[in-house]
Amino acid sequence: MALGLKSFGVVAFALLVAGCAGNTHDLLNKTTVTVPASDIAATHEIFVATTRQKAVKDPRQVFDGDRSLTTSFARVDVTVPKSHQVGNIERAKGSANSNPAKDFAATDVTFYEGAPQFAKAVGSDIAMRGDRALVFVHGFNNGFDDGIYRLTQIAHDTKYPGTPVLFSWASSAKTTGYIYDKDSSTAARDDLEATLRMLAKTRVKSIDIIAHSMGTWLTMEALRQLAITGDRDLGGKLGYVILASPDIDVDVFKKQMIRYGKPNKPFAVLLSGDDRALKLSSFISGDKPRVGDYGDAADLASYGVSVVDLTKTKGGDGGLNHAKFADNPFLVQLLGDRLRTPAGLAADENPAQLANIGQGLGKVVGSAAEVIITTPFKVLTIATGG
């Protein structure tokens, strides 16, 4: 299929602004910035498993885009300003210091010597917070800082009642690094599998997963590997699986789901027909459709997943429409309501109850859109107000 002028414009636009990355990837401040405690809404402890190399040239990045053949472990403490708006990630411009009164700010980093030490620390946190863990797997063109801040924002805005864990693979954080990123995500499959198994050995009762963009490819590969070993549900501890804007070839995803099998717990695919970032991915992949902007929800749902069509909702990423699940205030609140209900209970819930939730939140947010949910059994439309 030839690339038309309109499509070329979309691709050019995506090349300029694809992903969620900023101009720099500094996480730590050059100097300490102190503000009154009254300016801080909360401090979140983000546990990290990463296949990135430690940043040597610029220690402010903590971990850079180079690959490591082993997994490193850390914890990053991040403050959220009281002025924070739901769906936003308030950040300092360029390489300027973060002002905790206005910006998300990483205040401390703890490194762990290895998996045993990390497992002990994250296990203690899980036991303290309520026996649940949320694993976030970021997407293409993301620096280490992007993943840290996005998970902080998700945990804060959804009021997630558990321990946030970032799995950060070695993205180059460059719009021209698509192939490098795809290889990096593929190389991290065993590491993500091992991280999930490690979490399952703690006192955790539910391990929820949110993966975004290219991170969904990595997540599906790790879940496929678990299925091959006969432990696809991590001994019954796997909770929600949420694949947001999946950058996966549709046929590949179908084969992955066939190998994984129809899920027992809530397994959702969030897609949007106006996802401009995935147009670039489709172009690079020979104009093959991606799951994240696929037009046949019923086809996907036949593999046992719930398909959530966000096409008629607005995105907050400058027109890319690639991260609606996290930057649209209504969707963030709806996601939070789902996550606060343990996956085991949600699996038995009447889907019609989602409509009431959506209508209630829509009145609060004042949105005039709708979310269409296609399950293996029915199609449900949630009016989000208006």
CA 247 to centroid of chain Cα atoms: 12
First vs last Cα of the chain: how many Å apart?
40
The Cα–Cα gap between 56 and 50 comes to: 16
R_g over Cα of the chain: 20
104, 91 Cβ separation under 8 angstroms: yes
Run of H or E residues at 324: helix 324-327
Say what the pLDDT of residue 14 is.
Answer: 47
> What residues does 259 pair with on adjacent strands?
none
Sheet strand arrangement including 370-374: 105-112, 63-81, 40-54, 163-168, 132-137, 206-212, 238-244, 267-271, 306-309, 370-374, 379-383
Q: Output DSSP code: residue 245.
A: S
> What residues does 111 pair with on adjacent strands?
74
Round the average pLDDT of the chain to a whole number and report it: 88
pTM tops 0.85, yes or no: yes
Query: What confidence tens digit (pLDDT) does each residue in 192-212 have?
Result: 999 999 999 999 999 999 999
Structure tokens at 378: 């029915």
Say what the pLDDT of residue 317 is.
Answer: 82
Query: What confidence tens digit (pLDDT) does each residue in 123-182 have?
Result: 999 999 989 999 999 999 999 999 999 999 999 999 999 999 999 999 999 989 999 999
Say what the pLDDT of residue 386 is.
Answer: 35
Say what the pLDDT of residue 288 is.
Answer: 85
Say what the pLDDT of residue 255 is.
Answer: 98
Burial label, 94 (beta-carbon count in 10 A; 0-12, 13-18, 19+)? exposed
Q: Output DSSP code: residue 256.
A: H
Say what the pLDDT of residue 382 is.
Answer: 67
* Sequence ranges of the domains in the chain: 5-383
Whether the CA torsion 215, 217, 219, 222 is positive or negative: it is negative
Mean pLDDT for 223-247 is 97
> Which band of pLDDT confidence, cut at 50, 70 and 90, is reported for residue 13?
very low
Contacts of 283 (CB under 8 A, 6+ apart): 3, 7, 11
Q: Which residue has the tokens 């905790």?
A: 100
Residue range 5-383 forms a domain whose CATH class is alpha beta
